[in-house]
Each structure stands twice: as structure tokens, then as C-alpha cells.
Structure 1
Amino acid sequence: MEHNRYLWEVCTILETLLIASCLVSAFITFGLGIYVYATIPGEKAAILFLAAMATATYWALGEFFLWQATSYEGVYFWLRISSFWPVLAVLAAHFILIYTEHPLSERRRIPLILALLYLPASFFALLGSFTDTIYTVVFDEGRWIYQPVLSGPFYIASALYVIIVMILAVYLIASAWFNAPNERIRQQNRLVCIGLLAAIGFGMISGLLLPVLGITTPNFIFIGLAIFSCCITVAILRYGLFTLKPETAGPEIIATMPDGLLLVDPGGRIISANAAADGLFGAFAGSLPGTSIRTILPEDISATIRMHGEEGETITDLEAYPENIGGKAISIAASGVRAPDGKPAGCILIIRDISARKAAEKALRIASERISWLTRLTRHDIANEVTALGGYLELLKDEEDPKRRDHYLDQAVRKVGTITGHLRFSREYQDIGAYDPVWLALQPLIEQVARDIRMEGVRVVDHADPVTIYADRLFIKVIHTLLENAVRHGGTITTITISTSELEDGSLLLVFEDDGTGIPDGEKELIFQYGYGKNTGFGLAFARDITAVTGITLTEDGEEGRGARFGIRIPEKGWIRKGQADDHGTAI
């Protein structure tokens, strides 16, 4: 008898402790939810965490007051009030999806989340609130208590559903734990995983094990929720979960920032480098620290950085073109750092790859120059044609010979046609730079230019293969410039030969060669500079810019006294052969 009374007292104390754990859990979960939301307000993870903790608080208070009730009505009321426990499981699972950045957490997956999580949970919660199919109130050993309805399918289904949802949540957080990028994140995920396992374990004791044994007690899950809250608190305070403190966020931000970052001591030795710096300079991870910045930056740039570092000055946009990074252009921002005693302690370098920006600037400059020079070129050509037209009209006015009059009239008509062509060409390319390159048949372009230019006894022999090339729409101007320059500046020129040949690397070499006076060795590059030349001074420069749009190169390698030889090299993927050329060439 004494033994039974002692056992009864022990059970009463344990039951009292369990009931008290409900109240303790309610305060802990509510306070933790508010704290997390205040730390990162507006974040989806914080909102879901607050919702889950508020639901846990609501459930814990319902369980507490349920065990304080002494009547059937009181127990029944609080049982119905606290029947939304399945919603807690799906809120926790949704939080884990957001926290681990699972694809199901994307906005477009919301309908799927509602269907798989919230709809079933709401169904079971409503059954518990408005029916007796999940829990029922019974009178046992002198008091009213609630028991699960094990004889029906709904309780088992709801319990299994919650268990499956929570196991999936544990799987996600466990995967994030083992795949964490660093130790801090790994510790955070481990604590969250342990907390979830504790909640699931204590929940299964009260939800499945004890009902099968016929034991009715206050729900053990609130002990698990208290443990979960403790794990989250440790993760927050010790490992920076949900926070962005300098000691935790700084290294993470530096490690993941897209720009390269180097910490350099006063002697120019690299102390630390992030992953972006390793990638920018093609270095193995962790190999830059201990080396000198002179090994990765030009000497003059390194000296400038050291000088500014010693003086504590700031560099905002220092451009450099290191040879060891494949021709990339970089921008360096540097700030000197001083020790507490005021002496220089080194500097911090932020290095950004600006290759794309420089390429865009060059493209914009070329496009602008093309518009300007095209306008000047067209105006110049039209002026020449108008002068010639005026001359023919003057001759026509005083000429009485019918044959000569017909000849002058024919020449005047041709000049008008040429002027019209120039105007049409100018109008077509008034928005030059907005057009994409196109595939152009080479031989029709050559034939058209040869017809338009006044050759004056100069013969053009076309040995070029019938190929199609990928070039800017203005490529016809390149051919026009080469032929016109040969006629105008070739001196004793009698023949211009155009030929093509396929090179070993698959590229196509298009050659314009004449038998004139040629170009002196000292001028072979100067002729491609704007403003240099005997006429307008921009034809060849403009031609080289046009070819550069699609990676085509234009050079001159003729021999002075034996004629000029311009080579246009078209990349392997920039041309297509359409057939075989006439072995003897075609005279135009």
C-alpha cells in the first residue's frame, strides 16, 4: 500500500512537471519567435519561424489549460482550441525549405506547397476542431481526460502525415548540415537538426508509443520544443544564426564577394585573398597568400599601390593590364591601413575584372567614329562626284559634236547614279552600330565596287573563290577603299589582283595586290591611323575598324617599288566556301 502511494506521488510530480513544461515551452517559443523576427524583419525565413513559434505557443497554452480543466466542457473546449497542431509541423517544414534554399521554396512553387503541406494539415486540424474522429474526451480514474481515437483512420493518418513531413524536414536540414560550405554554417545546421530530432522524438512518445500502451499523460512534445528552442538559441548566440554580426558576417561576405580582395602588408606581401581573387589571377585556392603582389601585378602598378599604402591614401580606379591573366583588364581600388600607433600596416585591394566594360567602351567608340567618319566619307565622295558632274555639264553645254555630247551626258548620268547610291548608302547606315553582322557573298561585292569606281585603264583580275564571309554590313566600304586607294595612289599601277587562299589554321586570306609603287616600310602601320594619308586620311583606318567587328584583320605587307599588298584574314568560322574559282581568274 505504501509502495503504491509512493508511486502515485511520483507520477503526480512527473505529471505536474509535464504540465509546467507546457507553460515554459509557451514562453520560450513565443519569445524566441519574436526575437528572430526582430533580428531580420521581413525575411521569409523569419516570418515562417515566427508563425511556427506562435503556433507552438498557442498549442502549448491550450495543452496547459486543458490539464487545468476539471469538467467535461472545459476539457472539450481546450481540446478543440489546441487541435491545430498539424499546422505546426508544416510551418516547421516550410521554414526548413526556406532556410535550406530548397527549390520548393521558390515563389512559383507556392501552389505545390499549399497542396502538399497546408491543405492536408488544415484538413486534419479542422477534423480535430469540429469532430471527435481524432481525439475524444473520456472519464478515467476520477477525472476528464482526452485520448486519441485509435479505432478510426483519421488519427493514425494525421500522425503518420506529421511524422513523414518532419522526417523530410530533418532530411533536408541534415543534408545541409553535411554539405555546409564552412564550419559556422555546419554548426548552425547541426543544432537545428538536433532540435528537430528532439521535437520529433518526444512527439512520437506521446503521439504513438504511449497511446498504444494505453497511458494518458500531458504531451511530451513540449519538452522537445523546449530543447529545440534551446538549440536555436545556442545557434544564434554562438554561431550567428539569423544574425549579421561583424565577426560572423565579415569573413562570409569577403569569401563570397564577386570582386577579388587582397590584404597586403607594407612590404607588398599578400596576407589574404578571397576565392574571386584566386579565380581572377588563375591561382589555386589558397596559393596567393605569402607571395608578392609583383608576381600578379605590373611593377609600376605595384609601386603605385605601395606608395599610396605608405601614405595612407586611397586609390579609386587604377586600371591595369597584367600579362598573366590572358589579356584581361582590371580596375584596382586600394585603401591604406594604419596600425593603432599610426604606422602603415598595409593596404586592402579590391580588384574587379573590367574586360567587358572596356570592350563595351571600345565598341561604343568605334561605333561613334564609324558614324562620324561615314558622314565625312560620304560627304567627301559626293563632293567629288558633284565636281565631276559639274565638269561634264560644262563640257556638255559648249560641245557641238553629237558623239561627245552623248558621251558627256552618259558620264553625267552615271555620276548622278553614283551620288544617289552614296545618299542611299548613307541613309541605310545612319544608325550604324545598331546592326548585327551578316553573311555577305564576296564576289558580288567586288563586282559592284569595280563597276562603281572609275578605274582609268586599271584592270581588276578576280581570282577570289566564291565564298561567303561573316562581316559587318559596311564591308563593301573596305573593298571600295582598297580598290580606290590603289587606283588613286598606285602611281604606275596597271593591274589589281584579288585572290583567296585557305591557311593551315582554317582561316581565309583575302589578298588585294597591285603592281604600283607600293608603300614604304615606315608607313605600313601609319596608314591605318585616323588622319594619316594623302587624301581624307581615314579610309584605311575606317576599313580596319569595320573588319575588326567580326575578328577580321587587315594588314599591308607589300614591297615598296613592286606594289601594295593588303591581306584580309577571316577567322575559320567566319567564312563558307561556295565553289571553286576559275583557275585563270575573271577579268572585270
Structure 2
Amino acid sequence: MNFFEFLFITSSLLLILLGIFVFTRDPKSPLHQAFLLLTLGAFWWAFSLFMFRYSSTYSEAYFWMRMSAFWTFVPALSLNFIWIFRRSAAQRGSIWIYPFIYIPAIIFCILELVTDVINVRPVSEYWGYSFGLSENLWIYYIELAWAFSLIIISLLVCLHYYLSTRDIRKKKQSQFILIGFACPAIAVFMYLIILPVFGIAVLPVISIAFPEIVIIFVLIFSIFVGYAIWKYDLFVLTPATAADTIISTMTDLLIMLDGEENIVVVNRATREMLGYTEDELIGSPVSILIGDHPEKPDFLADIINNGGSLSDIEMVCRKKDGTAMPVSVSGSVISDNARSISGVVIVLRDITERKQAENALILVLEKLKKINLLSSITRHDILNQLTVLKGYLELAETLEHDQDIVMYLKEMQEITDVIDEQISFMKDYEEMGVREPVWHDVAAGIRRSIASLPMRNVRTVIDMHGVEVFADPLFEKVFYNLIDNALRYGGENLTIIRFMATESGAGILLVCEDDGSGISPDDKKNLFMKGFGKHTGLGLFLVREILSITGITITENGGSGQGARFEIIVPQEAYRFPDMH
């Protein structure tokens, strides 16, 4: 075995051992997989060259000459490895590069494997067999130019990443990979240009006098990568390789960031709840999820300043469609084996319902402050009505005509009804906001209200099936009062009451409209004020108060003489269609 054969067999063994060592550290990592493929390709190249050089017969040498054709995949796999390595700082999804690097590799491999357009026969030299090339060399030169161009592109991509990254650890890693990739490039440059200048001919125009040495420099590249693995934890602990199985099943949003706060890992919950695909998020700055927040957080700096972790920090996250989602953020830094900070992991928990409950609680406290004042006002109103009732009773005692007595008794009955409604209102208002909001089936609540009212010959149409609204437990009173108002003041022309639901950018619009006499422009101004109206003046006031607990608004937009039209706007976080899930 001569010196060159020893180098080839040594290179092949070291390459395969290094590839297996790296791959076993994290078999699921795309970077580890790409490095294993690269070392396997280089191993086969080195091994086939060893067998070719060491062949004892011409036929054996011819076989291994053909088997060495798979070398064309080594420069392609090298660029593929570099592309995946720098992907944490760039957008994923650049699939155009794969046909560019692999289709020529396949073509040149087939040409060397089954045709004589490049390699024709083995040629015996003092170090062993060498390649006898075809007389028509233009395909050979195209093959060399293609392989050299892939090495140069790999160098440029790695150089760009080295210059652009601010992560010190990754800068060191890319520095060693850059030096390693420069070795094959220098080898090819020497092999094709420098050696012929000094009379050491390696091209087929002159008799070959020196063996191909590129594979030795591939081994040198692998040694540099091995050093980066040992010294700077290349392939070891990065945010992109941590806890894949665990985070994929989490219900909370989990996002891993590199040292530049670019997203490197998201779990399934993040994609589903925010509406993004994985390709849209990986490589993007985390700021895209904060939207137009006035004080965009610097997660890495905030966590470092807080001793390495954050817990339950509230902020607003933006979904892909622009809607806001309140979240609680917790996070901590990720360190490598050398205790250098390599990234940040943050967990976001959807607190939409918690914020709704908190806002409702704040309103509850405000309502409780008003209860004493409102109760006293309501009791005063009741006492006034009772005073009038006593006056009518006194008048009734002095009258002798039955017709007049009937009239006063009728007035007494109406006042009694008002008293009953005022007492009922006081009870409802005291209960409003005391219990936590719940989800209501809107259509079912409307049907129950219809069943409890004297509808006469008035028809109802409900076109809002499946809608649920997050509101106070008294939410059903809203439609009861709207229907009751239509029946009381819609006039003789009232024949139908319609209920509809329409989604919009702001939420969902619930409509209650009728074909009665409508509401005058002057009355619209004070329609929802306490005490305004022809009866108790409390019904629509109660409606507005019930809805406001969970951020729901109501307006009246009907035309005078064309019927009333009440429009209820429910924000996006306060409605749902459960049957669609």
C-alpha cells in the first residue's frame, strides 16, 4: 500500500465515523441528517478511489472507476449542508436550490457510470490506477466547472452568514465551516491551475503525473467541522434541536428564538392558534407576532436582565389575520455546554377568557358601587307610584258611578304593573355582573323569550343558528325586552319581528328589527337612558347595561315610520360557532 492509498482509506474511515458520531447525537435534526449524507457521500468517494488505486487487475480497476461516479453528489451535498446550517437566519422554503444542485449531479453521475463520454478506461501510474479521459473533453470541463461553482457558492453562503450573524457562537461555528469549505476550493484551484504552471500536469492534455488530491481536502474540511463540534458545540445544543416530541403536544404556544431573536422552532399550537404555516414563521423575527405594539419587547435582553427567566408577563399577540390575542408570556434563556447563551424559549398562554373575566369583574365592582344609589332611586319611584295609587283609591271611595270606578281601577292596575316591573328591574340590576359571564345560545334564548310573551298574531323569523355569545347570565333579558318593546310600541301595523346575524371585521352583528311604527329621531338620542320612555323607562337601559359587561354595544338604526332596528355588535373574542369545531 503506497502513501496515496493510505490517505484515501484513512480519509474514508474518518469521514464515516465522524458522520455517524454527529448523526447519533440528534437523528431528527435536519442539520445532522444533512451532515451524515455529506460524510456518506465523501466516504464512498474516498473508498472507491482507494479500491480503484489498489486494484490488482484492469477489470477490477474498471469496475471501481465506474463506482467512483457517485462523487458528483459530494459538492451537491456540501451546498445542501451549508444551506440548512444558515437556514436559522433566513426564510425556509427555498426549494428552488434543490433541482439546481441535484439534477446536474444525477446527470453527471449517470454519464460517468454507464457511458464513455468522460471516463474511458483506467490508466496505470506509479501510484496505482488513474482515470483515462475521453478525447472529447468539453463535457469533462463542464462537469468540473459545475462542481467548482457549487463549492464557491457554498463558500459565499457561509461567508454571508458569518458576516451577518450577531450570535458569537454561530459566528465561530461558521468561521470553522468556512475554513473547511475553503480547503476543497483551494485543492481544485491547485489541481487545475497551480500545479500545471509548475509543470505538474494533471489535465488530460498532458500525461497525468500526480494523483487527484481533492478528497484529502474534503477530509481536512471534516476535521475543521469536528473541531467546531468539540470546541463550539456545533450540532449539539441549539434551540432548533430541543424537545421536539414534548413541544409538539403542548396546548400553550411555544416559540424558540436564536440569539438574534429570529424564530427557529414553533410547536403545533402556535401554528394553529395564530394561523401561520411553519414556513411563514421559521426564520422570521419574533416582532411579527407583536404587531404594532408601542413597546415591542426585547425578549433576550429582558430575560437576561431578569436573571435568566420571565414569568407571567401580559402582552398582546397578533394573529396572521390581524386580530389581537391577549397572552401571558414566560421564558428563559438556552445555554450551550460552554454556558454561552444560544437562544431563548418563550411560552405564550392564551388568556382571552381570563381577561374577559377580569374586565367583567371590574365592571361588577363599579355596578356594586351604584347599587345603593340605584336602589334608593328605585324605591323612591315605587313610593311615588304608591302615593298616586292611594289617591285613586281614596277617589274611588267617594264615587257612586260604576263606570268611573272601573276607570280608576284600570289606572290602579296599570300602576300596579309598573310597580311590579320596577321591583323586577331592581332585582335584575342587583344580579347583573355578580356571576361570571357564560356562553349563550342566542337562538335558543330568543325562542324562550318568545314563548313567555303574548305574541298575538306577530310572526318571528330567526336567522342566526349556531351563534353563541359570551355575556352576563342575564343576556336572555336583552331579547325579552327588545321583543316586549316591539309588541308595546310597534303599533297596529306590526306583523313580523326578525333576528339576523352577520359576521364582519369587527366581530358579529346581531340584528333585531320589526315592521312597526319605528322610533322618532328625537327619541333615539335618549333611548337607552334610565327613565326615558312611555312605560317604566328601564327596559332598554337594562339591555345596554347587560351587554356592556362583556364589551358588547347596542344601537338603534331604524327609520322613522319604517320599523325599529336594534343592532348589537359582539367583538370577535366574545362569540363563537361551536358546531363548526
Q: Provide TM-score, normalisation by structure 2.
A: 0.53
Q: Give the aligned residue type for 1:429.
A: M
Q: What is the percentage of aligned positions where both structures have the same residue?
A: 17
Describe the shift of the 1:356–1:205 C-alpha distance in structure 2 as closer, same or farther (beyond 3 A).
Answer: farther
Do residues 237 (structure 1) and 230 (structure 2) align? yes
Q: Quick one: distance in 2 between partners of 1:83 and 1:320?
A: 58
User: Are 1:221 and 2:214 matched, yes or no?
Assistant: yes
1:330/1:355 contact within 8 Å kept: yes
Q: Does 1:129 align with 2:113?
A: yes
Shift of 1:181: 4.3
Give 2:202's match in structure 1, choosing from 199, 208, 211: 211
Any gaps of 5 or more consecutive residues in structure 2? 196-200, 244-255, 268-284, 317-323, 333-343, 361-435, 470-482, 493-503, 557-565, 571-581
Give the equivalent residue in structure 2 for 1:167: 152
Q: Comparing 203-212 with 97-106, which one deviates more in the overlay? A: 97-106
- Cα pair 2:544 2:554 within 8 Å, conserved: no
Q: Which residue of 2 aligns with 1:519?
A: 530
Q: Could you tell me which of 93, 101, 110 is aligned with 2:79?
A: 93
1:172 CA drift (Å): 1.9
Q: Indicate the residue corresponding to 2:464 in structure 1.
A: 429
Deviation of the 1:75 alpha carbon: 3.3
Bigger mean CA deviation after superposition, 281-290 or 49-58: 281-290
Shift of 1:240: 1.7
Deviation per CA, 1:202-230: give whole Å up to 9, x if none: 13433565424754323211221121111
CA distance in 2, matches of 1:72, 1:128: 17
Aligned residues between the structures: 397
Report the CA distance shift for 1:220/1:379 in structure 2 as closer, same or farther (over 3 A): same
1:202 maps to 187
Q: Is the 8 A contact 1:148 1:211 kept in 2?
A: no
Structure 2 counterparts to residues 109-188 of structure 1, below 5 A? 109=95, 113-114=98-99, 116-135=100-119, 136-138=121-123, 145-149=130-134, 151-188=136-173
Paired letter, 1:49: F
The 2-side partners of 1:228 and 1:23 are apart by 16
- Local SS of the residue matching 1:137: strand
Q: Secondary structure at the match of 2:69?
A: coil
Distance 1:128 1:349 in 2: 49
1:47 matched to 2:33? The reply is: yes
Between 138-147 and 35-44, report the one with greater CA deviation: 138-147
Distance (whole Å) between structure 2 residues aligned to residue 34 and residue 106 of structure 1: 27
In 2 relative to 1, CA 184–138 (structure 1 residues): closer, same or farther, beyond 3 Å?
same
The AA in structure 2 aligned to 1:27 is L
RMSD: 5.7
Contact 1:373 1:538 in 2 (8 A): no
Counterpart Cα distance in 2 of 1:569 and 1:69: 88
Instruction: Give the Cα–Cα distance (whole angstroms) in 2 for the partners of residues 331 and 143 of structure 1.
Output: 69
Match of 1:390 in 2: none
AA aligned opposite 1:511 = K
Cα shift at 1:89: 1.5
Structure 1 residues 398-417: aligned runs within 5 Å: 415-416=456-457
On the 8 A contact 1:478/1:543 being kept in 2, the answer is no
- Summarize deviations over 1:344-366 as a string: whole Å, max 9, x none: xxxx9978464645578899957
Corresponding position of 2:574: none
Specify the alignment match of 2:23 in structure 1.
37
**Contact kept in structure 1, 2:53 and 2:129, CA below 8 Å:** no
Partner Cα separation in structure 2 for residue 320 and residue 478 of structure 1: 43
How far off is 1:46 after superposition? 2.7
Cα distance in 2 for partners of 1:320, 1:142 equals 70
Q: Residue 405 of structure 1 corresponds to which residue in structure 2?
A: none
Q: Which residue of 2 aligns with 1:60?
A: 46
TM-score calculated relative to the size of structure 1: 0.52
Q: Secondary structure at the match of 2:209?
A: coil
CA–CA distance in structure 2, aligned partners of residues 239 and 77 of structure 1:
42
Q: 2:7 aligns with which of 13, 21, 28?
A: 21
For residue 282 of structure 1, the aligned residue among 287, 291, 295 is 295
Using CA pairs below 8 Å that are at least 6 residues apart, which structure has the higher relative contact order?
Answer: 2
Instruction: State the Cα distance separating 1:59 from its structure 2 match.
Output: 1.5
CA contact under 8 A between 1:27 and 1:57: conserved in structure 2? yes
Asked if the contact 2:15/2:39 (under 8 Å) is kept, the reply is: yes
Helix, strand or coil: the match of 1:47? helix
Paired with 1:127 and 1:350, the residues of 2 have a C-alpha distance of 52
Distance in 1 separating the partners of 2:467 and 2:149? 63
Report the counterpart of residue 380 of structure 1 in structure 2: 452
The answer to whether the 8 A contact 1:195-1:227 is kept is yes
Partner of 1:489: none
Post-superposition Cα deviations, 1:356-415, rounded to whole Å, max 9, x if no partner, equal: 45578899957517456534432333xx33xxxxxxxxxxxxxxxxxxxxxxxxxxxxx2
How far apart are residue 96 of structure 1 and its match? 2.4
Q: Counterparts of 1:520 and 1:320 in 2: how far apart (Å)?
A: 41
Distance 1:122 1:205 in 2: 26
In 2 relative to 1, CA 353–93 (structure 1 residues): closer, same or farther, beyond 3 Å? same
Deviation of the 1:162 alpha carbon? 0.8
CA distance in structure 1 between the aligned counterparts of 2:126 and 2:347, rounded to whole angstroms = 77
